[in-house]
Amino acid sequence: GADAKVGGQTAMLIDMNRANDHDNQLIIPLVLLAVLLILGLLLRAIVAPLVLIATVVLSFAAALGISAVLFEHVFGFNGADSSFPLFVFVFLVALGIDYNIFLVTRIREEAQRHGTRRGTLIGLAATGGVITSAGLVLAATFGVLGSLPLVFFAQLGVAVALGVLLDTFIVRSVLVTALSLDLNGRMWWPSKLGARQEDPGLDLDEDKKPVLVS
């Protein structure tokens, strides 16, 4: 029998979407696994890297969701490029995990001296101003892309800027800190730091240094 050939823009778009879906299913898990292994070696723990990966994925999902609402109902865009989620993911993982690493490594250093609870507050106070300033500058930089007449770059800039702001003001300042306080020593399992006992009679008000939450 004869072979039917299908061409045109519609067929090309279908092939591109399938290729991008395949790339998403392959690259995203590999990137997360690679980052997880690096965090495990850096922090010498299992729980803390899992917490950081989960918060970054949550930030990515929230940024995509908010961006979709803005693009469709505010800006009136017809849709997004099928490669858009992958680019946003790569940027947010690369940028968002940096801020969390800065915070958690400082918390770990302080936890070795003061315990996890007190170390969390000291680490947040010590890194809060620097990370917040960097996040604002980075979000503003990507936000400028939103003014470009190219829809893909405008969407990418807005989504990454939203993700960076979420990571800076909510994920790092609130979520990671709250999880660290809640998990306490379990945050560093199975390292020896996880078995460290908190200082008896710990008074979180003893240190008069102000705690920055943003």
pLDDT in tens, 24-53: 888 889 989 999 999 999 888 899 999 999
Report the CATH number at residue 47.
1.20.1640.10
Q: Does a structural domain hold residue 204?
A: no
Does residue 212 belong to any structural domain of this protein? no
pLDDT value of position 50: 93
Q: Measure the CA–CA gap between 162 and 160, rounded to whole angstroms.
A: 5
Query: Would you call 70 helix, strand, or coil by DSSP?
Result: helix
| Model confidence at 13: pLDDT above 60 | yes
Which one-letter DSSP state was computed for residue 26?
A: H
For residue 141, tell me if it sits in a domain. yes
Residue 211: inside a domain: no
User: Model's pTM, two decimal places?
Assistant: 0.79
The answer on pLDDT for 204 being more than 60 is no
Q: Which domain does 88 fall in, by range?
A: 9-195
In a domain, 1, yes or no: no
Residue bearing the bigger pLDDT, 175 or 77: 175
- Of residues 169 and 205, more confidently modeled: 169
pLDDT tens readout for residues 70-107 = 888 877 777 677 778 888 898 888 887 888 888 888 88
Q: Is 203 within the bounds of a domain? A: no
In a domain, 178, yes or no: yes
Q: Environment class of residue 188 by beta-carbon count within 10 Å: exposed (0-12), middle (13-18) or buried (19+)?
A: buried
24, two tokens: 């998403």
Are 119 and 110 spatial neighbours (Cβ–Cβ below 8 Å)? Answer: yes
b vs e for 142-162, b when ≥16 Cβ sit within 10 Å of the residue's Cβ?
A: bbebbeeeebebbbbbbbbbb
| Average per-residue pLDDT for the chain | 82
**12-16, 94-98, 166-170, 194-198: range with lowest mean pLDDT:** 194-198
Looking at the structure of the chain, the number of domains it has is: 1
Query: Does residue 205 sit within a domain?
Result: no
